[in-house]
């Protein structure tokens, strides 16, 4: 049966179409970065931009944060259907159970109208280091959603071009630094206005029917590219399990299970058997689990596969309601977006490694190594948040990279100069953690060491993983070293909150990646008389 791509002029025109819509997302990101106030958005680049059609299906995205983009692609259809849209509107949200991920990720959605008709949406999502949690950095060791900050249900922030003042005031009043919050949200609004203008101009150039045909053709092409990759996976069922270290509230060794079924209809990912949601904040909404699934399968598709809804048509997933990967309101979810999403990647890759042993790498460091800190004292108010890289898992074609962000995050570090200029901190060490990568024929990448000295009293929150369960190796390769958190040389739990004083030193050593393949030393029997 002919599809839209069969009726599209030619492959070159479709390639240009895809590049043009991707470029609009890139333009949005440039505006957001250049106009944001906080280092978290301006320097770490903790944001994402995308375009959706009038039904909330993904059309294009920039190469930003996988956990942002995959969850948006999964949830946008529901958000779009719940609201009334008018020209010059902008809707804001962060509710994890109504289309968000966790509370610091604030999403702005703007409709795009052409000659009175709704043609699509431009969207951006950015991480705010202060969203009103009791602890600085808004990444607390929480047990309820309302402890994590202000919950914003999908609501109009701008209505037909006019600010909705009570919504603005509610958001700004919840933060410790309203000026920074207003600057960052204004930057997000500006990024969407840029996206609207660029997309309207592109639609005018293509003609409305030409643009719609291009979107349909792009989705059909994306589905074909995805299907060509999925058909290379042998049909069958593939199982894997992994564990989260703990939930920060006393529950440890939290089981995650997956069964991937591959047949002629496509791929079905089933998380039945995963632990039930817990008191701590490692729970995540289904949209976040979906982001991890989408990311893994996108990795095995050809590089030229477009970022559009058609790519995911033949992939379905299921997680029982009330489990860790499909938590129910009002579960705490701050770490679910950053830590559990990362473990979903390991889980799905572990299963696929059985089907594609020459394609899948060993586990990477498996944590975003989240550090939130700051002070709520009058006259000394500040909030800071960052994620830290670690070792990449080795694969059949090469060893893992060292001290890099992997998988679900794609941010930069905060530059030392910015860190020390903006906050009462001194960075005493920033180095590769030599020898932390897992041994193997291909060695896993090494983690990193980041050591902070506090120049004043403050509070810190750590949400980290792979401090107990190591990043696993493959094909005989060994596990990477677990991470270690220390305060004044005393080991800290993986998830904790502490008060610190001037002169205290916090050292984070992130995990190494798993190794791949046996080495000669691993398979040669000992001949020196020893027994172990």
Residue 165: CB atoms within 10 Å: 8
The whole-model pTM stands at: 0.93
Q: CA 204, 60, 335: angle at the middle one, nearest 5?
A: 140
Among residues 204, 223, 242, the one where a domain terminates is 223
**What pLDDT does residue 527 have?**
35
Q: What is the pLDDT of residues 215-265, one digit of tens each?
A: 999 999 999 999 999 999 999 999 999 999 999 999 999 999 999 999 999
Query: Which structural domain, as residue segments, surrounds residue 439?
Result: 361-532
Residue 92 lies in a domain: yes
Residue 253 lies in a domain: no
Residue 175 lies in a domain: yes
Q: Within its chain, how far is the Cα of 110 from the centroid? A: 22
Among residues 205, 223, 241, the one where a domain terminates is 223
DSSP-derived secondary structure letter, 383: E
The arithmetic mean of pLDDT across residues 417-433, rounded, is 96
Number of domains in the chain: 2
Among residues 175, 197, 223, the one where a domain terminates is 223
Residue 447 lies in a domain: yes
The confidence band for 379, taking pLDDT boundaries of 50, 70 and 90, is confident
Residue 262 lies in a domain: no
Reply yes or no on whether the pLDDT at 2 is more than 90: no
Q: What is the pLDDT of residues 309-355, one digit of tens each?
A: 999 999 999 999 999 999 999 999 999 999 999 999 999 999 999 99
Residue 235 lies in a domain: no
In b/e form, how buried is each residue of 327-360, taking b as 16+ CB within 10 angstroms?
A: beeebbbbbbbbbbbbbbbbbbbbbbbebeeebb
Does the CA dihedral 66-71-73-74 come out positive or negative?
positive
Residue 217 lies in a domain: yes
Cβ-Cβ contacts under 8 Å for 230 (sequence gap 6 or more)? 262, 266, 267, 297, 314, 315
Q: How far apart are CA 520 and CA 441, in angstroms?
A: 8
Residue 302 lies in a domain: no
Q: Can you read off the two tokens belonging to residue 388? A: 């830290």
Contact 455, 424 (CB under 8 A): yes
């Amino acid at each position: 049966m002919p599809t839209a791509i069969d009726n599209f002029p030619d492959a070159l025109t479709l390639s240009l179409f895809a590049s043009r819509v991707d470029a609009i997302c890139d333009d949005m990101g440039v505006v957001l970065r250049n106009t944001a106030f906080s280092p978290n958005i301006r320097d770490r680049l903790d944001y994402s931009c995308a375009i959706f059609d009038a039904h909330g299906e993904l059309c294009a995205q920039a190469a930003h944060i996988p956990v942002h983009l995959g969850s948006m692609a999964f949830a946008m259809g529901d958000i779009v259907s719940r609201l009334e849209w008018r020209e010059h509107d902008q809707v804001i949200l962060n509710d994890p159970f109504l289309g968000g991920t966790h509370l610091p990720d604030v999403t702005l959605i703007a409709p795009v109208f052409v000659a009175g008709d709704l043609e699509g949406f431009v969207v951006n999502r950015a991480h705010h280091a202060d969203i009103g949690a009791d602890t600085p950095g808004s990444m607390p060791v929480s047990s309820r959603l309302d402890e994590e900050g202000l919950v914003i249900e999908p609501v109009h922030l701008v209505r037909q071009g006019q600010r909705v003042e009570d919504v603005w005031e509610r958001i700004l009043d919840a933060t410790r630094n309203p000026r920074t919050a207003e600057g960052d949200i204004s930057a997000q609004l500006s990024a969407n206005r840029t996206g609207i203008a660029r997309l309207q101009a592109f639609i005018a150039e293509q003609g409305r029917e030409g643009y719609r045909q291009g979107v349909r053709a792009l989705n059909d092409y994306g589905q074909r590219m995805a299907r060509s990759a999925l058909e290379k996976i042998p049909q069958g069922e593939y199982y894997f399990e992994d564990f989260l270290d703990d939930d920060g509230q006393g529950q440890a060794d939290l089981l995650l299970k997956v069964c991937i079924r591959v047949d002629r209809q496509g791929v079905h990912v089933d998380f039945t058997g995963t632990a039930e949601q817990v008191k701590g904040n490692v729970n995540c909404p289904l949209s976040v689990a979906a982001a991890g699934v989408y990311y893994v399968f996108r990795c095995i598709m050809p590089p030229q596969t477009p970022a559009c809804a058609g790519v995911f048509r033949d992939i379905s997933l299921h997680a029982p309601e009330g489990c860790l990967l499909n938590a129910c309101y009002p579960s705490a979810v701050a770490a679910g977006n950053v830590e559990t999403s990362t473990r979903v990647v390991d889980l799905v890759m572990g299963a696929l490694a059985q089907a594609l042993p020459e394609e899948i790498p060993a586990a990477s460091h498996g944590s975003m190594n989240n550090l939130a800190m700051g002070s709520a004292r009058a006259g000394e108010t500040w909030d800071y948040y960052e994620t830290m890289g670690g070792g990449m898992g080795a694969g059949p074609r090469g060893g893992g990279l060292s001290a890099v962000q992997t998988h679900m995050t794609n941010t930069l570090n905060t530059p030392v100069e910015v860190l020390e200029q903006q906050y009462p901190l001194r960075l005493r060490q920033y180095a590769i953690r030599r020898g932390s990568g897992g041994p193997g024929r291909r060695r896993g990448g090494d983690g990193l060491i980041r050591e902070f000295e506090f120049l004043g009293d403050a509070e810190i929150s750590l949400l980290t993983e792979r401090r107990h369960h190591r990043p696993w190796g493959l094909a005989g390769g060994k596990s990477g070293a677990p991470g270690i958190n220390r305060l004044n040389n005393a080991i800290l739990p993986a998830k904790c909150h502490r008060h610190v004083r001037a002169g205290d030193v916090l050292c984070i050593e992130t995990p190494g990646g798993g190794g791949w393949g046996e080495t000669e030393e691993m398979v040669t029997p000992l001949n020196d008389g020893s027994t172990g």
